[in-house]
Structure 1
Amino acid sequence: MTSLNRRSLIAAAAFGAGAGALPIHRARAQAANTIRIGVLNDQSGLYRDVNGPGSVACVRQAIADFGAAAKGINVEVLVADHQNRPDVGVNISRQWIDRDGVDLIIDVPTSSVALAVAGVVREKNKAYINSSGATSDLTGSACSPNTVHWTYDTYMLAKSTGGAMVRAGGDTWFFITADYAFGHALERDTSAFIRAAGGRVLGSVRTPFPGTTDFSSFLVQAQASRAKVVGLANAGGDTINSIKQAAEFGLTRRGVKLAALLMFISDVHALGLATAQGLVCTETFYWDLNDRTRAFTQRVLPSMPQGLRPGMAQAGCYSGVLHYLKAVADLGVAAAKASGTDTVARMKAMPADDDAFGPGSIRADGRKLHPAYLLEVKAPGESRGAWDYYKPLQTTAADEAFRPLSEGGCALVRS
């Protein structure tokens, strides 16, 4: 029996046991008033610390902060590991919706999985909040009335981090790119900003995904290009390994700049400040940014795995679920369960506001808007304590951080 089938049988047994303990009319009433949220992510691989159990903790915190029980709404959370494989993500999504009555799927890192799940959710007319898939195609050519892209995307990362590097003199680039939809989109979007600013892309190399641990041959090619900047169009464990091995090769000592185009605070923690110091990255959430982000972090910290601070992808799960539940309460549980399209439309019509991201809104193409922060990793001597890793360099306002609505090619946007 596959692990997926074992998880499915366990979940089905749990639901059956719970319902059997209630009188039939009470069980039916509870089911009708129950919202089921499926957290679909990487629980065991490259992105475990970026998403994994931390995303689940943030979803549960959103349910608690919303006060679902006090509002008479029962919320159940299901969790599954998609193993960074589109076929596994699609199979889990179909089973969740068809058999387990899942109303919302949340998180879904790995852009190839994110795009595949979007198709299933649209077909089944449920709601989908993607916090962790980076490809900007989710609000472009693959946009859907059932999808909200919450936390970040390749266009925003390219504009903020890539643009800053070019302005600082990094006008020649070589890319080390994860060979799947996310890496391709991030290289594409960053290259466009480099060329628009008068810079040049001297070359790129694609690294197999998943499973690459030795980046030495790719770093040799990058060094041979004589580019001023090596752009790392990868994430999670790939980014950590790339940066560690670049340091071992002495690339930065030779004056080459590393552009970590998608880096999370858990990556900085894994690298250590001595290795990561001076790296520039962009995030839309930092736990120590302001009083509201610190308050949210203090609430969720006891539930976070291994003392990790929440990163932006995990905070996006909190923020997205909180806004979704507000829309459910406004629309009514029965109506929300009946139509994911209607629920997402209500989410777009309502202003967003929470302790993780502050005020925001959702555009017609499903793009959630909030500020983006260009951050520099502190040197060890600059850090004042545990997880004090970033110093802000600049803020890009919500209405400027993401791709203009008219440029995405989303079919939902009227010309």
Structure 2
Amino acid sequence: MTDLPRSAVFVNAAEVALCTGPVRERPHTDPAAVVCGAAVAVEGGVIVAVGPEEAVLDDFPHAERVHCHGGVLTPGFVDSHTHAVFGRYRTEEYALRCTGVPYMEIARQGGGINASVRDLRARSEDELVEMALPRLAEMLRGGTTTAEVKSGYGLSTEDELKTLRAIRRLNDLQPIELIPTFLGAHEVPPEYRERRAAYVDLLVEEMIPAVAESCLARFCDVFMEPGVFGRAESERILRAGIEHGLRPKMHADELEGSGGAELGVELGAASVDHLGDVSEAGIAALAGSSTVATLLPATLFFLGRPRWAPGRALIDAGATVALATDFNPGSSPTPSMHFVLTAACSRMGLSPAEALRAATAGGAAALELCDGRGTLAPGAPADLVLWRASSAAEIPYRLAAPIIDGVWKAGERVG
């Protein structure tokens, strides 16, 4: 295929997955809104028409035709939870876990998040940018066109700002649109281990104001989990973020239930993420709110967790669900949204249509993107992925097989 010109019509697709179905799944509906015989017209980086192929071609007679060759056209993935800016991978920890050493025990021995903290602190901003570029290129090849990227491996004011500056530079250097999140409350760094209250003070009184003043982040996140940050600490940190214009997000109820979902809803968080051990009360709270439940099946798979997040229960209760990779060097070293779709279907009870919508429009909802991102609807950015598949349901079925034929960002061919 050639680069997409300014005006083009995508034709001859077996299916077009609009992903404009209901945010909350209802019986007898298709949340991916898959249609056959449709064409998609693009002008100036924006989708301008979706409809019967003959009618769209009549309306845009001079547009270049982009032939889909009987494949499936979907929106680009919106990966709403990643930690893609880090130093080295932590391969040695994986080898330990394969012998039965638990993740939290590795962390207690100096591994885990703090191993990445030591590594990132020793690297320059330029080096972080250079190391992240090939990872983002891999994400793009896998169909991700928008991604959130968190800080959280610096855990000092300067190192967190360094990470967020790297994210801003990376946004300008490659096609994926990056949404920055401040995660200074990812862990308590070693130098504050015996005086954790002082670290929370640092977050609230110095880090958050500095991040807000520099306009380097849209969200403020916290890892609320037994052994990391408790409820009172998490609430104080997130309320400080809100006071400084940073929308709240949460890592919560991942390995042990701690009431994180309930707190996130109380604070009006954009999303509460992980939810591997969310309570019935947490499910009910999410279902009655606009807070998105972001599920990260690759993490649970990689950590070998026997219990998976209750995706089916969340959808049936009426919660808005997103899927994301949690791409990071310790617990989910994969940028594959394709694998995430399969895991969500096979282990969390989502249908292929629900999984596809959760990975596109659901991710956009988790990032509070209101421009049509994650859908193929008129007025939305022309972020598209073409798959060598006969139906949208075949995408998760093919279990991370290399079946992407093309990726477009704002109407330009980028993969």
Q: When the two structures are superposed, what TM-score results if normalisation uses the length of structure 1?
A: 0.29
Tell me: higher relative CO, structure 1 or 2? Use CA pairs within 8 A at least 6 residues apart. 2
Q: When the two structures are superposed, what TM-score results if normalisation uses the length of structure 2?
A: 0.29
